[in-house]
Amino acid sequence: MKIINLKTIHSLLFLICFTAAFSQNAAIKQANELIALQRYASAYEYLRGSDPNDQSPEIAIARTNLLLNFYVRTDKFHSFGLRDIAPNQNLQDFRNTNSNVRMLKYKPDSILNKLIYQYPSNYKLHYALGNFYYEVRLVYPDNDWIMPDSVIIEKIKTHYLEAYNNNEFDYWSLFGIGYAYLLDEDFDRAIPFLEKSIDLNKEYPMSYYNLAYAFHEKEAYDKALKLAQKSFELQTIPEFKAETAILIGTIYKNQKNLPKALENLLIANKLFPKDYNALVPLLELEVLLNKPEFPKRTNELFMLGPDNPIIYQDIMKIYSESEKYKEFISFLESKKNEFRASMLISANIHFYQAIAQYENDDWVVSKINFEKARNLFRNLYKSDHNVFKVIDSYTEAIKKKK
């Protein structure tokens, strides 16, 4: 379960999303007409020619909205690739194929901050800057933008709140404030903004989802369940509908209603198959309930990343919580022949099988598998790799057990 990533939804929201005040400006009106025809590069050039020195707040906001929502490629949101596409073409297809485009340098944050200094009472600029940092957070969530993630989150709140406190807001910016508070795990402050977002737009499923998430984290499960069910009802995108079903399943599990929890996790897996976020809680519940499907589900999860240690750790944790070390060991044994050609996967199989055998007090076979893992890992990693320290710690402990 997670706070939903909203990139797809956000892009849809801002299709031709310029205010009535902007449409009175001839340049922006013309740009809107070009955008409606999917002539995004032409629309940008028209706006740039209308305000080459970046003196107009309205044009700057229009350019920023266009770039954020219709780029084919971006480099840190300080340069953007745009192109005109035919009416029967889909922008997302060009993004997926990493289509070659000419990159245009433009730094919305620098321009908007400059204009805020020049026009301190224009709170639409703060709203636009909040949008900018929100988009940055969605695309660069792992501290790989030009500033730390915590600073980006703070800027989302700062600019949206500045606009809000001066009566420049809508359901989207209220949602954004709530989202930022959720990222800081400040659920009490997130809740009223998400509630106000719903008041302004009762058809937007993500506001219901994030409000449900907030109440879930506060252990107000009845409120969370109703909101999550409403979000599920409104949601149309399979990935997000599945994520909502996961949240509903999690709430039911916390309410000790395991049959309903399982039902919703199965719905999530059907809506969006082979999704890690659905498979982990589904496997956990199927193992807990000793369902006959759990070996097959284990394989589904394993095959998402047989070379990824996190997958092994997740499966082992789930099995250990139900005291099924032997079943975990047997599962890994069944995969040895299948992946004998992969040194990395074979090393991981031996390594995690050895850990499970150690936890199951099978010292001799555990030591054998640790040594096999060590020999395989030697062909992959340098001698100072952490995996060798872990193996040494276990093998030393085994010596003391004998």
Number of Cβ atoms within 10 Å of the Cβ of 270: 12
The per-residue pLDDT for 142 is 83
The per-residue pLDDT for 102 is 86
The per-residue pLDDT for 100 is 82
Q: What is the pLDDT of residues 173-224, one digit of tens each?
A: 999 999 999 999 999 999 999 999 999 999 999 999 999 999 999 999 999 9
Residue whose token pair is 């379960």: 1
Phi, psi angles (nearest 5°) of residue 142: -115, 45
The per-residue pLDDT for 14 is 42
The per-residue pLDDT for 23 is 41
Nearest to 184 by CA among 209, 153, 152: 153
Give the per-residue SS3 of 175-237. HHHHHHHHHCCCHHHHHHHHHHHHHHCCCCHHHHHHHHHHHHHCCCHHHHHHHHHHHHHHCCC
Max Cα separation, the chain?
Answer: 85
Nearest to 128 by CA among 27, 25, 22: 22
CA 131 – CA 370 distance, rounded (Å): 51
Rounded to 10 degrees, what is the CA torsion of 172, 177, 181, 184? 100
- Residue 90 vs residues 7, 83, 86, 94: alpha-carbon distances, Å: 16, 12, 8, 7
Domain range list for the chain: 305-402
**Paired strand residues for 74:** 80
The alpha carbon dihedral of 295, 299, 300, 302 has a sign of positive
| Residue 173 and residue 163 in contact, taking contact as beta carbons nearer than 8 Å | yes
Residue whose token pair is 């908007």: 112
The per-residue pLDDT for 68 is 96
| Residue 325 and residue 356 in contact, taking contact as beta carbons nearer than 8 Å | yes
Q: What is the pLDDT of residues 138-176, one digit of tens each?
A: 999 888 899 999 999 999 999 999 999 999 999 999 999
Residue whose token pair is 């000790």: 256
The per-residue pLDDT for 26 is 87
Question: In the 8-state DSSP scheme, what is residue 74?
Answer: E
The per-residue pLDDT for 8 is 42
CA 249 – CA 251 distance, rounded (Å): 5
CA 307 – CA 75 distance, rounded (Å): 30
The per-residue pLDDT for 1 is 65
Give the chain's residues under pLDDT 70.
1-24, 402
